[in-house]
Structure 1
Amino acid sequence: MYKYKGGIVFLFCFFIVVVRAQVPKVGDPTDKTSDQLDSLYHSRSTEKNLMFTPYVAPTYTPELELLFSAGALMSFKLQKDNPFVDRSSIPFSVGYSTNESVSIAAFPYIYGKTDKMRLLTMLFYRDMPDNYWGVGYDAGNRTSTPDETTRYHRQWFSAEGKVVHRINKSLFVGVTYDFNSTKATELNEYMKSDIYVQKYGKSATNFGLGLALDLDKRDNVQNPYKGYYFSISFLKYNNFLKIGDSNEFLKATLDTRKYLNLGDRKVWAFQFKTQYSDGEIPWMDLPQLGTQFDLRGYQWGRFRDKVALFGISEYRHMFSGMRMPSIRRYLKHVGFAAWAGFGSVASSYEEIEDFLPNLGAGLRIEIQPRMNLRLDYGVAKDRRGFYVAFSEAF
């Protein structure tokens, strides 16, 4: 176990120093240098505006088991003639797994003309047998294999994201939202006696609305080679429009990222993210770890509490410097990544004592300009996971 002795404070200060999160001077929102264009696609005028790449692939995650999914990556530009505006993308997938789970996901990332507006959304629907260990780090550690003390059935829908407006060259301000609904059935005996389930019930519908501030100096939003990103958001639930249940609570999220360019499409990326919540928070809406965007390999929702945090260091390498043209022809769209990370959950930051280790590696296949198909194998303390997704984890 890794003990907390001021490490969180050190890491937070480290990332703040690294990203140098000062507000930049007002400038042209499209004032980017030419080296921010993809090295494989120098002539942007020859690109098709609408691109559509389908796929069919198996995936194995701890919560869905073996999932057979089909989907596609659709990308386009709302301002085709502006080479400095990132391509908007809508990756989506539909899957059915060996444990009879149904999974639907879509991630519309839309960039407006001259990148003045950004619409970033994550949509999920799952009907699946799930597992609930309880609340807190110790609860997540109480068993390493899902069994009759954790299993239940879950039907879940979530739509979350933000709409931000550019204030100056790098600063965005806007609104963030989260609408989710969970219905739990076939509860096991442990869940029936759990104090959080007894207090908040088997079902909940929550709506949150708040403010978001982003400082974005990345050369590309979905696959950065250099720059940094600093984001703060605050969400207040079930209080604005009286949508959802009567439980009132708030969430605050800090997300910091740094990208170091080590050569032609060789990147060392860092992320530190934490979420704090307070109030009458249903057990299904507590901050959690184990998604395809953080500690890959852990079961999503196994570790949950009022506070969650994680840090990741990841190396990304695309094979673009091969001297032999015949080899480069086949490998220039292929690469790999490897990462190491940690995370934890607790009722407060002062209560954090133990950390969850995480390691992994994966294959990268560039299927559209600056957009990769990601195949990751994550290693957790006692579980493994294989993930297929579009775009990088962060």
Structure 2
Amino acid sequence: MNLSSKAITLIILQMIILYASGQQRDSTKLKEDKTSGIIVLPAIFFSPETSLGFGVAGMRYFRTSSDSLARPSNVQAVFIYTLENQVLATMPFNVFLNKDKHWLKGEWAYYIYPYQFYGVGSEVDLDTYEVYTADFLRMETNWLFKLHSDFYLGPTIFFDNYFNIEVDANGELATGDILGIEPQQVFGIGGSFILDKRNNLFSPSDGYYLEGRVLQYENRAIGDYSFTDMYIDARKYFSPIDRTEVGLQFYHQSILGDAPFYNLALLGGGRRMRGYYQGAYRDHHQTILQTETRRYLTKRIIFSAFGGLGSIAEEFGSYEKLLGSYGVGLRYEINSKEKIRIRVDYARGANTSGFYININEAF
């Protein structure tokens, strides 16, 4: 489990403890009849890579319209600092404005952080990796405009900056022909669309969701690389029987051109192909198909079983290795009205596994 997994794990575990014991401050209590709320929690942890770490996490959900059918906005924030001078600060957000006519969506983040690099391609050895550190700044903003019903379209700006990079002098990053080990940045401009027919933004159980994006990066002015990044994300949700939810997801991403290794298609993580370290498998193209079934055991406790198939390749369609993942999990619904959940998952892949704790569903 890497630093972010451990930090989020401690944060959410403390959230469970504080919620169950009823010791939160008044501003963080979640009531069934509320349409907005704030959670602010401390975090402290220890790991061999980071020594002692501590910080704070927060989430605010709210509606910008008095209409009870308006979409709920949410802004999350996590700040972690360790005695090794490592920093993790991230703020993902979804904000609906002007009676849901505008959707502001994205993430701003800054990391000083250790990463694991296994190589590029599908023939990597998951038992062999090198550790590198870098300062990492990301600013992603999508400003989407409602054109018709639940269809949104708008511009996207994406900025990544890696600097203060330290790699193993004898490792593949330093000795191989890999783009991105020098301090440089990428800047992309493009467009995104979303067709959102889900019955809930946080934990959907009915409807469908379709998202697509195309970004063009240029090595002019701000950027140092020229390449194209595009993806399509299609999801379907239904409830075959009472108190049971089923989700299906198809995801494809293609990187065209010479992109740095940290902007290639990264398979794995806490949302797609759980069980694999995010970026253990990376290349120019990836395709993923996954499904999940969730069943209420009590009013607030939910059991989950999920699985996925995925692959990466240098050339589009030339997949040679099919990867599988599967797992089980539990959810605790801390707000039944908004369906805000704490998610705990254990997943296995090919000779690998992962443990994930987060807020709301993976997809």
TM range (shorter): 0.7 to 0.9
Q: Cα RMSD (Å) of the superposition?
A: 2.8
**In the TM superposition, what are the counterparts of 1:263-282 in structure 2 within 5 Å?**
263-282=241-260
Is the CA contact (8 Å cut-off) linking 1:182 and 1:284 kept in structure 2? no
Is the CA contact (8 Å cut-off) linking 2:190 and 2:215 kept in structure 1? yes
SS at match of 2:174: helix
Partner of 1:170: 150
Please tell me whether residue 375 in structure 1 is matched to residue 344 in structure 2: yes
Equivalent of residue 331 in structure 2, options 341, 349, 364:
364
Please tell me whether residue 296 in structure 1 is matched to residue 274 in structure 2: yes
Partner of 1:254: 232
One-letter code of the match for 2:188? G
Q: Relative to 1, partners in 2 of residues 1:50 and 1:170: Cα closer, same or farther, differing over 3 Å?
A: closer
Query: What's the CA shift string for 1:334-364, capped at 9, x where partnerless?
Result: 2122210122111122321112211122221
Partner of 1:185: 166
- Matches of 2:302 and 2:50, distance apart in 1: 27
- Matches of 2:52 and 2:330, distance apart in 1: 19
One-letter code of the match for 2:98? K
Please tell me whether residue 232 in structure 1 is matched to residue 212 in structure 2: yes
Equivalent of residue 221 in structure 1, options 197, 201, 204:
201
One-letter code of the match for 1:294? R
Equivalent of residue 309 in structure 2, options 342, 345, 351:
342
* TM-score when normalising by structure 1: 0.76
Equivalent of residue 212 in structure 1, options 161, 171, 192:
192
- Matches of 1:64 and 1:383, distance apart in 2: 22
* Number of aligned residue pairs: 328
Partner of 1:385: 354
Cα deviation, residue 252, structure 1: 1.0
Mean Cα displacement is larger for which, 287-296 or 99-108?
A: 99-108
Cα deviation, residue 222, structure 1: 2.3
One-letter code of the match for 2:340? M
Cα deviation, residue 177, structure 1: 2.3
Partner of 2:221: 242
Partner of 1:54: 40
* TM-score when normalising by structure 2: 0.82
- Matches of 2:299 and 2:53, distance apart in 1: 29
The ranges of structure 1 where at least 4 consecutive aligned residues each deviate by more than 6 angstroms after the TM superposition are 57-61, 63-69, 97-100
SS at match of 2:148: coil
Cα deviation, residue 56, structure 1: 5.2
Q: Larger helix proportion, structure 1 or 2? A: 1
Cα deviation, residue 234, structure 1: 0.5
Cα deviation, residue 307, structure 1: 0.6
One-letter code of the match for 2:105? L
Query: What's the CA shift string for 1:138-168, capped at 9, x where partnerless?
Result: 1xx234243xxx2222222222242211111
Q: Relative to 1, partners in 2 of residues 1:154 and 1:201: Cα closer, same or farther, differing over 3 Å?
A: closer
Q: Larger strand proportion, structure 1 or 2? A: 2
Please tell me whether residue 196 in structure 1 is matched to residue 207 in structure 2: no
Query: What's the CA shift string for 1:31-76, capped at 9, x where partnerless?
Result: xxxxxxxxxxxxxx98334301234568999x99998764122111
Query: What's the CA shift string for 1:101-122, capped at 9, x where partnerless?
Result: 5322221111123311111112
Equivalent of residue 158 in structure 1, options 125, 131, 138:
138
Q: List gaps (5 residues or longer) in structure 1.
A: 1-44, 320-330
Please tell me whether residue 354 in structure 1 is matched to residue 321 in structure 2: yes
Is the CA contact (8 Å cut-off) linking 2:167 and 2:174 kept in structure 1? no
Q: Relative to 1, partners in 2 of residues 1:94 and 1:46: Cα closer, same or farther, differing over 3 Å?
A: closer
- Matches of 1:67 and 1:266, distance apart in 2: 39
- Matches of 1:143 and 1:100, distance apart in 2: 28
Cα deviation, residue 264, structure 1: 4.4
Q: Relative to 1, partners in 2 of residues 1:164 and 1:124: Cα closer, same or farther, differing over 3 Å?
A: same
One-letter code of the match for 1:207? F
Is the CA contact (8 Å cut-off) linking 2:64 and 2:99 kept in structure 1? no
SS at match of 2:265: coil
Equivalent of residue 68 in structure 2, options 83, 87, 101:
83
- Matches of 2:54 and 2:269, distance apart in 1: 18
